[in-house]
Amino acid sequence: MTSTPTARLSALGVSIWLDDLSREAIRSGRLAELVRTREVVGVTTNPTIFAGAIASADAYADAIAALAAKGASAEQAVLELTTADVAAAADVFREVFERSGGVDGRVSIEVPPGLAYDAAATVTAAEELFAKVDRPNVLIKIPATAEGLSAITDTIARGISVNVTLIFALERYREVIDAYLSGLERARAAGLDLSKIHSVASFFVSRVDTEVDRRLDALGSPEAAALRSKAGLANARLAFEVFEEVFSGERAQSLLAEGANLQRPLWASTGVKDPSLPDTLYVTELAVAGTVNTMPAKTLEAVFEHAELHGDAVHGTFEDSRAVLAGLEALGIDMAEVTALLEREGVDKFVASWEDLLNTVATELESARSA
């Protein structure tokens, strides 16, 4: 399998994570097969993924019937169902987790998205999820809202590993790294083992192009057309520059010297939404050692089948990336406004998916009680 594109991507130093999870995939062995054949070394989930999985599969019927018999509410049932799936997936990845020293073999689960603007409630939910999953290789996902920053610090300070999600803006990314380092400093002061605390920072890519391209198309000029589908990559590549800059600084280096881990950039939203673009674009063009790329199943298969890798696609691109963002600004496209909008929309979409999930489970519980 060393000749496959996924094997070559892994050899470049990119950790391949799957942005999908279902009970059927775990039970059928399909998830374990992806570990063997696609170099998949982790999984991310979100409310949309769980809503789709539970609504479309019979694999949850027995568990829902048992929860209905116990009188569980929809909220309680969702907690039981999702944490059970994450724990089972974490067991599938336990060998990867141990072999990688805790760097990979990770499975992420998100705090309820309605808490995105409530820091204290987010920390409480993170602790509850961490205890409920009860696996060392779980990552708790916390959105990178302004309120989420202090929740990230507080959660890391408690020794809980975190996947920071919904990062769109470069300035917010700097704040996310600062929140992580602050949490590590508090953990160090409390005498915790820094080597056990891990984090990734999920920087979203394709959604940036979707929004920016919509604005470029509305302008309709040759200058606008020339910048189409370049913003997402430019933004992400400059995020990697921020990562290297901050983690090479004295503050981060002092923590790393005491056993702390890098907070790796994770490329999220890597499924191509514009059919005119190569379906592996956000994988091949963001390939660089020390990163994670979490892919929807369709993107993963496209990469496995025909991705054309050309080595490190990030170093050496920073000046061109800055030129792209400067070009957008010259056309009147405000990236700060774009990324703020995308953050709000990201939270809103996950809240809507969470409500769909609760409604689906409530209906299933009612049907089970009536049977």
In degrees rounded to 5, what are phi and psi of residue 204?
-85, 140
Lookup: tokens for 32: 């374990």
Asked if 286 contacts 267 with a C-beta cutoff of 8 angstroms, the reply is yes
In sequence order, what DSSP letters do the residues of 181-230 get, joined into one string?
HHHHHHHHHTT--GGG--EEEEEE-HHHHHHHHHHHHHH--HHHHHTTT-
Match 């394709």 to its residue by tokens: 206
DSSP state letters, 149-175: HHHHHHHHHTT--EEEEEE--HHHHHH
Contact 231, 7 (CB under 8 A): no
Please say if 141 is a catalytic residue.
Answer: yes
CB 141 within 8 A of CB 111: yes
Cβ proximity of 54 and 360 under 8 Å: yes
Please tell me which residue in 141, 230, 273, 349 is annotated as part of the active site. Answer: 141
Q: How far is CA 208 from CA 98, 176, 245, 270, 337, in A?
A: 35, 19, 23, 11, 11
For the chain, the farthest-separated pair of C-alpha atoms sits apart, in whole angstroms, at 64
Query: What is the rounded distance in angstroms from the CA atom of residue 19 to the CA atom of residue 270?
Result: 9
Helix then strand count (H, E) for the chain reads 18, 8
How many whole angstroms separate alpha carbon 152 and alpha carbon 76?
24
Query: Rounded to whole angstroms, how far apart are CA atoms 250 and 254?
Result: 6
Residues in the chain: 371
Residues labelled as active-site residues: 141
